[in-house]
Amino acid sequence: MITYNRLRAGVTSHYGPIVVIVFTET
């Protein structure tokens, strides 16, 4: 589970801002 949390944290840190921008623009 720790590995999953690390992966999720990594994905969020990398793609989080992009997702927020996409939803904001939409």
pLDDT value for 1:
65
Domain carrying residue 21: 1-25
pTM, two decimal places: 0.34
Distance CA 17, CA 26 (A): 14
pLDDT value for 26:
66
Total domains, the chain: 1
Q: What would the pLDDT profile of 1-26 be if each residue is shown by its tens digit?
A: 678 878 777 777 777 677 777 777 76
Q: What is the 3-state secondary structure (H, E, C) of the chain?
A: CHHHHHHHHHHHHHHHHHHHHHHHHC
Q: How far is CA 2 from CA 7, 10, 14, 20, in A?
A: 9, 12, 18, 25
